[in-house]
Amino acid sequence: MAAAQSPHSPAVVHPRWLAAAILLALAWSTISGDVVGWLAQDLPRVPYLRSLLATLTDLAVLLLLAAGVARRSPLSLLALAGLRKPIVVPLAWAAIVLVPAWLACLLWIDTRPQVAAIDLLWKGLAGPFAEELLYRGLAVGLLTTLCGWRWLPACLAPALLFGLAHLGQGADPVSIAGIALITAAGGLLFGWLWVRWDGNLWPPVLLHAGMNSLWLLYGLGENAIGGLAGNVLRLGIVAVAVALTLAWVRRAEIAASRAR
């Protein structure tokens, strides 16, 4: 299935400038946590408050920069992210992909002690949602729909910056490089899902949230690199997610051809 396009979208005056604005905003997101943390150092030590402020800043910067170049309202750009797409089929898809992994962890992997509810809420749910909205729904969505980029560069550029945004999770050069590569590969997968699901944001959000929650609750690795069990499980999840997505796309194409 081709990248999501809107036949009713008027041409952008300067698509190259719009692409530059989008990539500049994503570049900002790679350092926004440090900048916002420094500016907000006198705020109360509320868990994840600085992360929330940095995330809101990232979304605001991208929307405002893109809206200024595209001469549209931020809300009209937000509407292109795929939030209004159907969620029922993606929920069923995510259940088929993730439930076996959750059962495997329940049976064979030790749980982590004392995972706080706020950690699960932010790292397992709110954080993945915000990242997918920023890096996939908005970045990939605007690059394909308004800038005319093909799906691969439109997915790859945000994925690379997504990987750079996770550099701080590493403790040494090897782990830093590994985390950046793995998170960039994950970003490419999530972008591909957005495209293949016809601009639907929910499949990458659900897969991202499900995998993050698994890593939080079970001993699959201390960071994105993961251990042996975590990487075997990750490869299995990715393989099933890709296979089911291709099957869904093929079914949708057959149904569309029959309807003509």
Residue 4 lies in a domain: no
The one-digit pLDDT tens for each residue of the chain (260 residues) are 444 444 344 555 689 999 999 999 999 999 999 999 999 999 999 999 999 999 999 999 999 999 999 999 999 999 999 999 999 999 999 999 999 999 999 999 999 998 999 999 999 999 999 999 999 999 999 999 999 999 999 999 999 999 999 988 877 888 899 999 999 999 999 999 999 999 999 999 999 999 999 999 999 988 888 888 999 999 999 999 999 999 999 998 898 888 87
Residue 207 lies in a domain: yes
> Which positions ≥6 away from 260 have C-beta within 8 Å?
none
Give the CA distances from residue 237 to residues 48, 58, 142, 182, 210, in Å, rounded to whole numbers and listed in that order.
Answer: 28, 29, 28, 15, 10
Residue 1 lies in a domain: no
> Which stretches of the chain are DSSP H helices?
15-29, 32-39, 49-70, 74-78, 88-108, 117-119, 127-131, 141-145, 151-164, 173-196, 202-217, 228-259
Residue 221 lies in a domain: yes
Number of separate domains in the chain: 1
Number of C-beta neighbours around residue 106 at 10 A: 11
Residue 9 lies in a domain: no
pTM attached to this predicted model: 0.93
Residue 3 lies in a domain: no
Q: Rounded CA gap, 20 and 14, in Å?
A: 10
